[in-house]
């Protein structure tokens, strides 16, 4: 089953995504790279360098997957489906490892029977993935609407954010919107693009054809809906995908397009997101089951590779070095799933499980000393969530010989949170202040100082601290958590809290995209 | 919860309950660079102030979020709130008096009184106070806040308003205790603690503070000193946990059976629990009373019984008999063999006279005939020296190793005393 049409060289057409092409897309580069997953990418210590200069048009020299070819190019509009189809003819080796998946027995049988009699036996509807948009029309820009409602139409001239129509109607446009924090506009653009695939509004439960590109559009849309906490739409639109195990989610379902190319058409990130979605909808137990199911499959893939087989258990047709790279890739994915399990457990207040998995993760991987320290301190905070202050203190003390004389922001933060747990808010304030001296622009630290000021009876000072931080850097500081805190302070401070809130709204309107949940201002409409 | 003042006042009073802050986390969605969003989602996550810097996929951030709801209040917690009186007007006021009292079901407790006569409160100035109160009563509490002031103008007269904040106090824990008096005069206390709160709690301390007559050993750790409740000290909502304590009587108490009998005050359980970010509560039980075993006139225990004995080998031990009556007594001891054991020795012997409060050790010997847990019988008769009445005693089976079952001499009638041994 695992015949693979691979060409060792990277197809330049495939890799021609605008964003990624600045890098050498040679396979060797990808595989020689030690970092191999998004998980590692996120924890890589040198992230700061590319946070700010990361813009969509100027690609970040990111170690992970950047050099891998993108299966679909951004020529969705100027090209046609044939472009997408052409992509399929040139499958790179890295694609096959990245897309590998083990279908369920049921799906495997259907795919096998299709391979024997190609063309004419179309499977039952029950074996098809039939998604469709549940949202008719566009998500409105709530920030803009609220600003107009409270501040008048004239305020709108200050609003200068992208909408779905302001960008190219393709994946580059999508990336531009996401980068600008215009998630709602991005969701709207995904809607337009998905409609082209015959999966628009009202098309749920209607058979349609999938491509890697259409599934990427869906992934992007659902990811953004999750970010926006549009729970109802998210739940309903994600439902038809199930756990991505229907036969039409695999390349072999379309032999005329992909030949015998193995693997899943949907990306791993999509699979993970779908598994997690129930936890955003208050169904954490279901999410936990889903995550464990994909964890089991990933473990099987790693076992297969370690036994010298291909990911799906077929005969391996790649070199040992390639195999080792694939094992690294899948071990990284395993860690990412475990982190998701921890997050899900925390959401369920199952701290026992969360701490257990974290402890194992901490022991089992080759972390850099800094990453390990971040992880250990995170376990300490998990103990603080559940109230075990002494266990948290022990964790914070591990590896830091300077517990009494902390030097890093993290150590000061840890000390500050321990002090909070001991109801010593003044001491906590002092710790956060020291952290702030090291990183003056760190809004999290300033926010924590403000919280301590409130608990020590200095409401006004707390308000000033946050207001100054926002004034210094509105674009960075106007985040939901900060807004929620400052509006809570305003409400406590005065019955006349509408004016300062409207000032925040004015700034949101000027500086931020459409992704901010406006409820955090607690304005009464 | 908040009653709005009916007329527009120059001052406004706001109260916010201060439970511990929570730590915020973002919605974590990541993808590979080869996915459509490229690095955009990941970069957004890195810029999120609630994300954990350096490991953004993990939902354990460091950003504190102020409490967004009043939450539940439990007995034993410290109730804290922020009281803010704000002059939102454009004119100064003077003689501001702010009082905060807490009305509990049984009393009215003054928490705060601010009284600054002749001092002005300028526009946009505030009077701030963080109030703390240890909650010691259940059910309805009312925080009564009163404000009076005088506007600084020629016609200003004293203004007054008050606000009520009502909240309910719930029971956080259910504590059930059981006592076991064992033969060696040790007392075992089993305390079952159930978490009645809405979420998981960490039982930071569950200690038995005993009276001076006993020394306490806590039996909740294993040989390595680790907690028997697992690596993470957590008790989920609705769940229960059993704590076990062994109380050894002090030597003075051991010598005096009567005093031992009267030592019914065991001590108090001191319980400290914590929840989110160290939110703390503490409860102490009232003095725990054990039901002292009734000794009757005579107390019989077995001493020096080996834990394991072997088939058809002699087992030597002692029968310890204490006269707990007010009178002197003569005792006859009888031995009755059966299918499972055979006694070695002479039955129906007069073992002598025992003075009030005194004891006697009678060496005995038996041979087990079958394996397993067996019951052997010995009976004894007491001949009261004065009345010469014969009173017989019997007890229930005695397990090996002095286990916790109730024993003996509950009744002053009957005639057999049973004991049992584990055989190998």
Let me know: does B20 contact B278? Beta carbons within 8 Å.
yes
- Within 8 A by CB and 6+ apart from A417, the residues are A381, A384, A392, A428, B23, B62, B64, B277
For position A467, what pLDDT does the model report? 96
For position A439, what pLDDT does the model report? 95
For residue B45, give the chain A residue with the closest CA: A42
Let me know: does B27 contact A229? Beta carbons within 8 Å.
yes
For residue A162, CA distances in Å to A158, A165, A184, A474, A504 come to 13, 8, 10, 18, 20
From the number of C-beta atoms within 10 Å of its C-beta (0-12, 13-18, 19+), residue B372 rates as: exposed
Rounded to 5 degrees, φ, ψ at A507 are -70, -40
* pLDDT of residue B422 exceeding 70: no
Chain A positions touching B28 (Cβ under 8 A) are 340, 343
Q: Give dist(CA B179, CA B265) in Å, integer.
A: 12
Nearest Cα residue to B185 out of B252, B270, B269: B252
* Mean pLDDT of the B107-123 span: 90
Nearest Cα residue to B412 out of B294, B291, B302, B318: B294
Task: Using DSSP bridges, classify how beta strands B288-289 and B280-284 pair: parallel, antiparallel or unpaired.
Answer: unpaired
Let me know: does B382 contact B331? Beta carbons within 8 Å.
yes
Q: B207-221: per-residue pLDDT in tens?
A: 999 888 899 999 988
Q: In angstroms, how far is CA A40 from the centroid of its own chain?
A: 13
The reply to whether residue A489 touches residue B66, judged by beta carbons under 8 angstroms, is yes
* Mean pLDDT of the B278-294 span: 87
For residue A266, give the chain B residue with the closest CA: B35
Nearest Cα residue to A69 out of A105, A26, A108, A37: A26
Q: In angstroms, how far is CA B60 from the centroid of its own chain?
A: 32
Structure token pair of residue B261 = 């009998």
HSE at residue A483, side-chain half, CA atoms within 13 A, is 23
Helix (H) or strand (E) holding B417: strand B417-423
CATH 1.25.40 in chain A, residues? 367-438
Structure token pair of residue B54 = 């350096």
Structure token pair of residue B171 = 């029971």
Let me know: does B140 contact B109? Beta carbons within 8 Å.
no
Chain B positions touching A460 (Cβ under 8 A) are 126, 128
For position B374, what pLDDT does the model report? 59
Helix (H) or strand (E) holding A506: helix A498-511
The domains of chain B are located at 11-19+67-170, 173-289, 298-423
Residue position matching structure tokens 């925390």: A346
Let me know: does A133 contact A194? Beta carbons within 8 Å.
yes
Sign of the dihedral defined by the CA atoms of residues A329, A335, A340, A344, in that order: positive
For position A466, what pLDDT does the model report? 96
Q: Give dist(CA B101, CA B112) in Å, integer.
A: 7
Sign of the dihedral defined by the CA atoms of residues A338, A339, A340, A342, in that order: positive
Q: Specify the higher pLDDT residue, B404 or B205.
A: B205
Nearest Cα residue to B418 out of B281, B302, B277: B302
For position A38, what pLDDT does the model report? 41
- Which class is A367-438 in CATH? mainly alpha
For position A404, what pLDDT does the model report? 66
Let me know: does B22 contact A447? Beta carbons within 8 Å.
no
For residue B332, CA distances in Å to B326, B329, B335, B380 come to 19, 10, 10, 5
Asked: is B11-19+67-170 a CATH 2.60.40.10 domain? The reply is: yes
- Within 8 A by CB and 6+ apart from A449, the residues are A429, A432, A433, A436, A465
For position B126, what pLDDT does the model report? 92
Rounded to 5 degrees, φ, ψ at B352 are 110, 180
Dihedral through CA A12, CA A16, CA A21, CA A27, nearest 10?
A: -40
Nearest Cα residue to A151 out of A522, A420, A515, A504: A504
* pLDDT of residue B186 exceeding 90: no
Residue position matching structure tokens 């951004």: A74
Q: Give chain B's radius of gyration (CA, Å).
A: 35
The reply to whether residue A267 touches residue B199, judged by beta carbons under 8 angstroms, is no
Sequence-ordered alpha helix ranges (H) in B144-276: 251-255, 257-262
Chain A positions touching B42 (Cβ under 8 A) are 38, 41-42
- What average pLDDT does chain B have? 82
Q: B231-263: per-residue pLDDT in tens?
A: 899 999 999 999 999 999 888 887 777 777 778
The CATH number corresponding to B298-423 among 1.10.3720.10, 3.30.870.10, 2.60.40.10, 3.20.20.80 equals 2.60.40.10
For residue B64, give the chain A residue with the closest CA: A448
For position A509, what pLDDT does the model report? 92
3 state DSSP class of A430: helix
The reply to whether residue A492 touches residue B14, judged by beta carbons under 8 angstroms, is yes
Q: Give dist(CA B281, CA A402) in Å, integer.
A: 31
- Please check whether the two domains, B173-289 and B298-423, share a CATH topology: yes
The reply to whether residue A71 touches residue B68, judged by beta carbons under 8 angstroms, is no
Which residues make beta-bridge pairs with A201?
A: A133
Residue position matching structure tokens 């914070």: A396
Distance from CA of B70 to the nearest CA of A (A): 13
- Angle (CA) A134-A135-A141 rounded to 5° is 155
Q: Give dist(CA A438, CA A419) in Å, integer.
A: 19
Q: Which of B43, B231, B273 sits opposite A54 (nearest CB)?
A: B43
What is the side-by-side strand order in the sheet with B240-249? B173-181, B187-195, B240-249, B214-218
Chain B positions touching A68 (Cβ under 8 A) are 32-34
- Under the phi-then-psi rule, with left for phi > 0, alpha for psi from -120 to 50, and beta for the rest, what region is B199? beta
Q: pLDDT digit of tens for each residue in chain A (525 aa)?
A: 333 333 333 333 333 333 333 333 333 333 333 333 344 444 333 333 333 333 333 333 333 332 233 333 332 323 233 333 333 345 666 788 999 999 999 999 998 888 777 655 667 888 899 999 999 989 999 999 999 999 999 988 889 889 999 999 999 999 999 999 999 999 999 999 999 999 999 999 999 999 999 999 999 999 999 999 999 999 999 999 999 999 999 999 988 888 888 899 999 999 999 999 999 999 999 999 999 999 999 999 999 999 999 999 988 888 899 999 999 999 999 999 999 999 999 999 999 999 999 999 998 767 888 889 999 999 999 999 999 999 999 998 887 665 567 788 999 999 999 999 999 999 999 999 999 999 999 999 999 999 999 999 999 999 999 999 999 999 899 999 999 999 999 999 987 888 999 999 999 999 999 999 988 998 887
* pLDDT of residue B30 exceeding 50: yes
For position A120, what pLDDT does the model report? 56
For position B74, what pLDDT does the model report? 96
Structure token pair of residue B321 = 């008999």
Interface of A with B in 58-117 (CB under 8 A): 59-60, 62, 64-66, 68-72, 98
Q: Give dist(CA B38, CA B34) in Å, integer.
A: 6
Let me know: does A421 contact B277? Beta carbons within 8 Å.
yes
Pick the range with the lowest mean pLDDT from A236-240, B30-34, B191-195: B30-34
The reply to whether residue B48 touches residue A38, judged by beta carbons under 8 angstroms, is no
Size of interface A-B (CB pairs under 8 A): 280
Distance from CA of A521 to the nearest CA of B (A): 13
For position B170, what pLDDT does the model report? 96
Q: Give dist(CA B250, CA B23) in Å, integer.
A: 49
3 state DSSP class of B38: coil
Three-state SS string over A237-298 comes to: HHHHHCCCCCHHHEHHHCHHHHCCCCCECCCHHHHHHHHHHHHHCCCHHHHHHHHHHHHHHH
Q: Which of B16, B30, B63 sits opposite A269 (nearest CB)?
A: B30
The reply to whether residue A349 touches residue B200, judged by beta carbons under 8 angstroms, is yes
Choose from B3, B18, B23, B39 for mutation: most chain A CBs within 10 A: B39
Q: Look at the domain B173-289 and name its fold.
A: Immunoglobulin-like (2.60.40)
Nearest Cα residue to A455 out of B81, B77, B133: B81
- Within 8 A by CB and 6+ apart from B386, the residues are B327, B328
- Under the phi-then-psi rule, with left for phi > 0, alpha for psi from -120 to 50, and beta for the rest, what region is A171? alpha
- Within 8 A by CB and 6+ apart from B54, the residues are A43, A45, A47, A370, A371, A374
Residue position matching structure tokens 């395993």: A334
ipTM over 0.90: no
Nearest Cα residue to A322 out of A100, A16, A101: A100
Let me know: does A191 contact A138? Beta carbons within 8 Å.
yes
- Angle (CA) B25-A525-A461 rounded to 5° is 55
Task: Using DSSP bridges, classify how beta strands A6-7 and A91-92 pair: parallel, antiparallel or unpaired.
Answer: parallel
């Amino acid at each position: 089953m695992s015949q693979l049409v691979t060409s060792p060289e990277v197809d330049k057409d495939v890799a021609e995504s605008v964003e990624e092409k600045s890098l050498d897309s040679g396979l060797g580069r990808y595989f020689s790279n030690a970092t191999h997953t998004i998980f590692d990418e996120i924890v890589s210590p040198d992230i700061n360098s590319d946070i700010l200069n990361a813009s969509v048009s100027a690609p970040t020299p990111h170690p992970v997957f950047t050099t891998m070819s993108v299966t679909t190019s951004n020529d969705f509009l100027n090209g046609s489906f044939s472009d997408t189809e052409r992509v399929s003819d040139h499958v790179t080796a890295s694609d096959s490892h990245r897309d590998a998946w083990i279908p369920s027995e049921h799906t495997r049988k259907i795919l096998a029977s299709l391979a024997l009699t190609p063309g004419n036996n179309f499977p039952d509807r029950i074996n098809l993935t039939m998604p469709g948009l549940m949202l008719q029309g566009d998500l409105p820009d709530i920030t803009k609407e609220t600003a107009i409602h409270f501040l008048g139409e004239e305020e709108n001239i200050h609003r200068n954010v992208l909408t779905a129509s302001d960008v190219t109607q393709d994946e580059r446009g999508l990336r531009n919107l996401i980068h600008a924090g215009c998630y709602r506009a991005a969701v709207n653009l995904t809607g337009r693009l998905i409609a082209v695939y015959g999966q628009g509004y009202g098309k749920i439960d209607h058979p349609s054809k999938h491509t890697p590109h259409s599934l990427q559009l869906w992934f992007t849309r659902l990811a953004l809906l999750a970010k926006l906490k549009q729970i109802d739409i998210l739940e309903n639109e994600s439902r038809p995908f199930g756990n991505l195990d229907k036969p039409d989610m695999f390349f072999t379902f379309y032999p005329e397009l992909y030949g015998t190319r193995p693997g899943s058409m949907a990306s791993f990130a999509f699979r993970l997101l779908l598994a997690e979605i129930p936890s955003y909808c208050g169904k954490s137990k279901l999410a936990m089951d889903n995550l464990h199911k994909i964890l089991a499959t990933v473990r099987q893939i790693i076992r297969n590779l370690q036994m010298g087989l291909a990911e799906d258990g077929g005969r391996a047709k790649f070199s040992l070095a390639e195999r080792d790279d694939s094992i690294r890739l899948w071990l990284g994915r395993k860690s990412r799933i475990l982190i998701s399990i921890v997050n899900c457990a925390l959401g369920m207040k199952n701290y026992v499980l969360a701490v257990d998995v974290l402890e194992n993760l901490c022991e089992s991987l080759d972390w850099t000393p800094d990453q390990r320290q971040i992880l250990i301190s995170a376990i300490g905070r998990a103990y603080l969530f559940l109230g075990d202050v002494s266990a948290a203190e022990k964790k914070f003390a591990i590896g830091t010989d300077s517990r009494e004389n902390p030097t890093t922001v993290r150590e000061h933060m840890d000390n500050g949170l321990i002090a909070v747990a001991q109801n010593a808010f003044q001491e906590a304030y002092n710790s956060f202040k020291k952290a702030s001296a090291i990183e003056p622009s760190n809004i999290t630290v300033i926010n924590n100082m403000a919280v301590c000021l409130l608990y020590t009876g200095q409401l006004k000072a707390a308000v000033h601290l946050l207001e100054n931080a926002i004034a210094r850097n509105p674009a960075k500081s106007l985040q939901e958590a900060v807004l929620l805190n400052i509006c809570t302070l305003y409400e406590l401070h005065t019955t006349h809290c509408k004016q300062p809130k409207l000032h925040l709204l004015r700034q949101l309107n000027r500086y931020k995209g459409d992704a901010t949940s406006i409820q955090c201002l607690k304005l009464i409409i | 919860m908040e009653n709005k003042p009916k007329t527009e006042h120059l001052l406004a009073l706001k109260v916010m309950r201060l439970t511990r802050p929570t730590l915020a986390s973002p919605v974590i969605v990541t993808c590979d660079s080869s996915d459509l969003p490229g690095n955009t989602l990941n970069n957004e996550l890195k810029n999120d102030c609630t994300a954990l810097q350096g490991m953004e996929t993990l939902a354990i951030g460091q950003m504190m979020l102020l409490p967004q709801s009043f939450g539940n209040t439990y007995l034993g917690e410290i109730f804290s709130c922020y009281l803010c009186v704000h002059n939102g007007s454009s004119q100064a006021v003077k003689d501001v008096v702010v009082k905060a009292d807490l009305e509990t079901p049984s009393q009215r407790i003054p928490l705060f009184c601010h009284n600054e006569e002749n001092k002005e409160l300028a526009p946009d100035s505030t009077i701030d106070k963080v109030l703390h109160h240890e909650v010691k009563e259940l059910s309805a509490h009312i925080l009564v806040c009163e404000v009076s002031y005088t506007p600084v103008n020629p016609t200003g007269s004293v203004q007054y308003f008050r606000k009520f904040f009502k909240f309910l106090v719930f029971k956080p824990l259910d504590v059930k205790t059981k006592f076991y008096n064992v033969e060696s005069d040790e007392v075992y206390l089993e305390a079952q603690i159930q978490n009645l709160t809405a979420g998981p709690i960490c039982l930071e301390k569950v200690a038995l503070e005993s009276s001076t007559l006993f020394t306490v050993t806590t039996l909740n750790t294993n040989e390595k000193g680790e907690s028997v409740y697992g690596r993470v000290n957590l008790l989920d909502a609705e769940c229960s946990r059993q704590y076990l304590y062994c109380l050894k009587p002090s030597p003075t108490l051991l010598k005096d059976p009567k005093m031992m009998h009267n030592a019914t005050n065991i001590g108090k359980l001191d319980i400290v629990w914590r929840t989110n970010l160290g939110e703390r509560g503490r409860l102490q039980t009232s003095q725990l009373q054990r039901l002292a075993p009734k000794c009757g006139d005579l107390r019989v225990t077995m001493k020096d019984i080996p834990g394991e004995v072997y088939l058809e080998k002699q087992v030597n031990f002692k029968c310890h008999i204490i006269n707990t009556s007010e009178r002197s007594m003569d005792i006859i001891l009888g031995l009755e063999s059966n299918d499972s054991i055979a006694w070695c020795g002479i039955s129906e012997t007069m073992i002598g006279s025992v003075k009030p409060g005194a004891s006697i050790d009678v060496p005995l010997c038996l041979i087990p005939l079958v394996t397993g847990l067996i019951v052997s019988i010995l009976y004894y008769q007491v001949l009261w020296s004065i009345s010469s009445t014969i009173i017989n005693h019997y007890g229930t089976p005695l397990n090996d190793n002095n286990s916790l079952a109730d024993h003996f001499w509950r009744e002053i009638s009957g005639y057999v005393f049973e004991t049992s041994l584990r055989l190998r």
